[in-house]
Every structure is written in C-alpha cells, then in structure tokens.
Structure 1
Amino acid sequence: MSSAHSSSNSNPAHPATGGQSAGSSPTFSPLYQQIKALITQSLQSGEWRPGELIPSEIELANRFKVSQGTVRKAIDELSAENLVVRRQGKGTFVATHHEARAQFRFLRLKPDVGDAQYPENNIVEAKRLRAPADIARQLDIKTGDSVYFIKRIQSFGAAPTILEELWLPGAIFKGLSVERVLEYKGPMYALLETEFGIQMIRAVENIRAVVADESASSLLAVELNTPLLSVNRVSFTYGDKAVEVRRSLYVTNNHHYQNELS
C-alpha cells in the first residue's frame, strides 16, 4: 500500500496545519492541495508507473472521500506541472519521458525554420569519476562521491549543435554502465526512467553568452571564438532531489532558445 493510500485514512477534509511557533498563526492548506499531495505521494512511490493510467476522478474521490471537483482541481495542477497527462476519452496517465512532448519540455532549443526535431546523440566520453566540489554542491552530495560523467554531441540534420556534459550521482544510478550509455540511442531521461525509475519533474537553468574555446570549436565544427549559448541545468525528481547536472553549449546559427513565461 502506498503512502498516499495510507494517508487517506486520515480525513483530508480537515485542513492540515503547518508548523506553529508561539505567537504565530497556523497555516492552512486548501483541500485540493492536500489531495494533490496524496496523489503525488502515489506517483513518487511508484503505485502508478510512468505511462500508466491512474484511477478516474470518481474513483479517487471515493478513495479520499472528497468531491470529484476537488480531485479535478488537484489533477489540473498536476497536469499543468507535467506530472500527469490527460487524454481525451481515455483518462489521465502518468507522464513519461518516452513521450515526445516530455522530451521537448527540457529541450528549449528550437529551429528558426520548421518543426522541432529530437537530435541525434553521439557519445564522446562516458566514465565514472569522483565528484568535483562544484558538481557535488549542485547535486547535494559530498565532494569525491562517485558520479557518472557523460560527454556527448547532439546534432540536427548531421550538424553538431549541442555539446553537453552530464553528471549523475553514482549512488542513485548504481548499475548504470558505460556500455549501456554508449549503446543507448534515445533520450537520456527516458533511459533513466526505464531502468532506474527516476523521473525528472523540474529543472533550474542558468544561461549566459560565451565563445567557443579550442575544444568546443573542434567538437562543434565552428570557428574559434564563435558565440555560443551556455546553459547550466540542475534537474530534480520528486522530493526536490537533485539528480542531474547538465552543462550545455548551444550553436545558435540556425536555432534559438525558446521559453514560455506566464
């Protein structure tokens, strides 16, 4: 039984209160937020796996003893956060990195002309290392802890466009072999989801303009000092746990970085 199911024994209709110190007022969580938290617990525990259909709104309402409207509002937020996907006439499914829409969530480089395409991957290097201090800090692990390091080039139409370095904590992805990384041709997040049950649910990126050094110019087939877009990303799974650092250099001759703000 999942933690979400166990929690439903307590009546969620009574608003939860946060920590309260002397002289402070209690903080109340709206009912739909409590149901959202219970559903998220079930997603995190693996009660419903990526790509699987979750119970209907009516079934969840009966389970948590709340109205269908309360469940719908909770699922609306989970859908907006890309944790679940609604499919007309079929129901609501756990989001998966194997879907194209999920892949493009984390790939913000768009072509200036034409539709977005997923790039071809070419692994330059893959090995286990001891975490440098800056990587350890971003992954919230100790300096010197085991990490997987992957360096790859992503190309569109045979044109090298993205040079990436990926850092993954060894303790979480224990068993990930260099051979597996080298033979895998699909999206990295789909591999990590399938083989380790890890879903990337959000990321924080820092972006700046840089110029190509000798290594980048050679690997990306551009001239030395060509302007590039540098993107440093930290990706998080459930529980706001950092599980990847990704450092990318983008060639923007025929592409641009696109984000939607709301």
Structure 2
Amino acid sequence: MPNSNTHTDSSPVFSPLYQQIKSLLLQSLEKGEWNAGDLIPPEVELAKRYNVSQGTVRKAVDELAAENLLVRRQGRGTFVATHQESKIRFRFLSMKADDGTDFKTRSTILDVKHTTPPEAVRAHLELNKKDAAVQISRLLSFDNTPAVVEEIWLPSQIFADVTLDKLTNYKGTLYGWFEAEYNVRMIRAVENLRAVVATPQVAQLLEVSAVEPLLFVERLSYTYADKPVEVRHGWYLTAAHHYQNELI
C-alpha cells in the first residue's frame, strides 16, 4: 500500500485566485476581446464577471501592468498596452551611448521578401518545411551613423502582405506596425548574444572593415500564449555604444 504522505507529480498545484483571474484576463487578450490601446472594463465590472472581489481583480491587473501588458491611466481607466506607448516603445532596443547622451535612431528598410527560411529559423517559428516566411533586412543608424544591421524573419501565414513599400512608408516602430496592421503584439523576447567578426556584406553596410568585431544578437519574440512570431538577427557596432540589460 503506498504511503498516504507520498507526493506525486499528479498532485494538483495550488494557484492563488488572483493568478487564476490573471489567466482569464490573458485569455481575453489572446482572443482579441480587447485589442492594443483598448480600454478594458472597470475592476468592479470584472469582479462581477468573474465572481471575485475587486481586490483580487486589482492584484491581477497590477501584475499585468507590471509586465507591460496593461497600462493604468489616472482618471481614465486601464488600457491594453501598445507599442505606441512612449514608456515601452523602445523597451526591446537596449543600446546606450557610452557617454550617456541620448541619440536619434533612424530605420532604413533595405529589402523585404517572402522566401523559405533557414532550418534554424523554421524551427524557432515552429513552421512546417513548406511554410514561407517574410525576411526583412534593415539598417539602424544612431545620429546618422550606421550602427545595427538586422535580419528579421516572420511567418508568412500571419504577415502575408508585408511589402517593401508598406514598410518604407510607415514612420513608426516595426513592433508598432505589426500591432497596428496585424494585431500581433510582441510581449516578451529571449535573446542570445555572442561576439562575431563582420561579414563583408555587414561590414559594407556599417561602413567598417571586414574584420571589425561586432556583437551578434539573436532574438526570439513571442506574442500571447507564448507563440513565437519573430526571429531577429542583429549585428551591432559597439565602438561608441554598448548593449545594456537590467536584471531584476
């Protein structure tokens, strides 16, 4: 007879009530009940909807706000966060000037094509062998000086009509455009960093020698429900800038 005190992997895991409400709110976000920039119902209304206390709802909303998924606006309510928000607009761009000064970032789209992605990209995006992907190449300049070359891969079944003209004519951030045009919001990203030597093509774009040391960053970005929707490769020139990451 098994010991009644033995713990097994099948034992239910306790989840605080506010975490359950947080999960329900996330489901509504995933399903598009509230889109980026939308005002969500007041906490008192959500409390009635889920049959819990207003304090429980507030705690769930507080966590989503801390994760930059919701934004509280004094006297106006709580809104679904958007990449147009100044607070989070550049939160995925971690480059800082060595001297601490601010700099202007300019994006130049170099090319856009729909093609078969490399095997590693296909695996990251969880695509089938015959699935196509959008490949976006662009150059970021800091104060008019070339600084970053990026190669961005997106699943074509979601971003079916991305073109060079459309991206060139858009003046906001890429993540803002994905959100506005395709209702796809990047909510978290995982990055791998390593030192590399510039390839001839990258060196030409960055206007450096072919042996220039660069920082290579591979980013895998996820939307709701931990669905991977972007692979981004970046070659960063760090002669006057550094990559900053705050760990909390």
**TM-score (norm. length: structure 1):** 0.87
Seen in structure 2, the aligned counterparts of structure 1 residues 135 and 117 have a Cα distance that, compared at 3 Å, is: same
Q: Distance between the aligned counterparts of 1:59 and 1:134, measured in 2? A: 46
Query: What residue number does 1:225 align with?
Result: 211
Query: What residue number does 1:196 align with?
Result: 182
Query: What residue number does 2:4 align with?
Result: none
Q: CA RMSD in A?
A: 1.8
The DSSP-based 3-state class of the residue aligned with 1:51 is coil
Query: What residue number does 1:63 align with?
Result: 49
User: Which residue of the other structure, out of 88, 97, 100, is the alignment partner of 2:74?
Assistant: 88
Q: Give deviations 1:181-230, integer Å, cap 9, x for gaps.
A: 23223211111111110000111100011121211111001122112110
Q: Letter of the aligned partner of 2:184 in structure 1?
A: I
Query: What residue number does 1:119 align with?
Result: 105
Query: What residue number does 1:11 align with?
Result: none
Misfit runs of 4+, over 3 Å: 21-24, 113-118
Q: Letter of the aligned partner of 1:171 in structure 2?
A: Q
User: Which residue of the other structure, out of 161, 178, 194, is the alignment partner of 2:147?
Assistant: 161
1:51 pairs with 2:37: yes
Query: What residue number does 1:34 align with?
Result: 20
Q: Distance between the aligned counterparts of 2:143 and 2:52, measured in 1? A: 52
- Unpaired runs of at least 5, structure 2: 1-6
CA drift at 1:117: 4.7
Which segment is superposed worse, 40-49 or 226-235? 40-49
Query: What residue number does 1:244 align with?
Result: 230
Which segment is superposed worse, 84-93 or 127-136? 84-93
CA drift at 1:161: 0.6
Seen in structure 2, the aligned counterparts of structure 1 residues 255 and 195 have a Cα distance that, compared at 3 Å, is: same
Q: Distance between the aligned counterparts of 1:111 and 1:179, measured in 2? A: 31
Q: Aligned residue pairs: how many?
A: 242
Q: Distance between the aligned counterparts of 2:49 and 2:135, measured in 1? A: 44
Query: What residue number does 1:108 align with?
Result: 94
* 1:32–1:71 Cα contact (<8 Å) kept: yes
Q: Distance between the aligned counterparts of 1:23 and 1:245, measured in 2? A: 34
Q: Give deviations 1:101-156, integer Å, cap 9, x for gaps.
A: 22221111122234555621111111111122111001000234111111110011
Query: What residue number does 2:244 align with?
Result: 258
Query: What residue number does 1:151 align with?
Result: 137
Seen in structure 2, the aligned counterparts of structure 1 residues 118 and 25 have a Cα distance that, compared at 3 Å, is: farther
Seen in structure 2, the aligned counterparts of structure 1 residues 212 and 23 have a Cα distance that, compared at 3 Å, is: closer
Query: What residue number does 1:8 align with?
Result: none
Q: Letter of the aligned partner of 1:63 in structure 2?
A: R
Q: Letter of the aligned partner of 2:20 in structure 1?
A: Q
User: Which residue of the other structure, out of 36, 60, 65, is the alignment partner of 1:79?
Assistant: 65
Q: Distance between the aligned counterparts of 1:23 and 1:223, measured in 2? A: 56
Q: Letter of the aligned partner of 2:37 in structure 1?
A: G
Q: Distance between the aligned counterparts of 1:39 and 1:116, measured in 2? A: 37
* 2:71–2:78 Cα contact (<8 Å) kept: yes
* 1:131–1:142 Cα contact (<8 Å) kept: no
Seen in structure 2, the aligned counterparts of structure 1 residues 254 and 126 have a Cα distance that, compared at 3 Å, is: same
* 2:37–2:81 Cα contact (<8 Å) kept: yes
Q: How does 1:124-135 map to 2 (within 5 A)?
A: 124-135=110-121
CA drift at 1:44: 1.4
Seen in structure 2, the aligned counterparts of structure 1 residues 219 and 23 have a Cα distance that, compared at 3 Å, is: closer
Seen in structure 2, the aligned counterparts of structure 1 residues 111 and 90 have a Cα distance that, compared at 3 Å, is: farther
Q: Distance between the aligned counterparts of 2:13 and 2:226, measured in 1? A: 21
User: Which residue of the other structure, out of 193, 196, 213, is the alignment partner of 2:199?
Assistant: 213
Q: Distance between the aligned counterparts of 1:102 and 1:182, measured in 2? A: 22
Seen in structure 2, the aligned counterparts of structure 1 residues 57 and 258 have a Cα distance that, compared at 3 Å, is: same
* 1:44–1:238 Cα contact (<8 Å) kept: yes
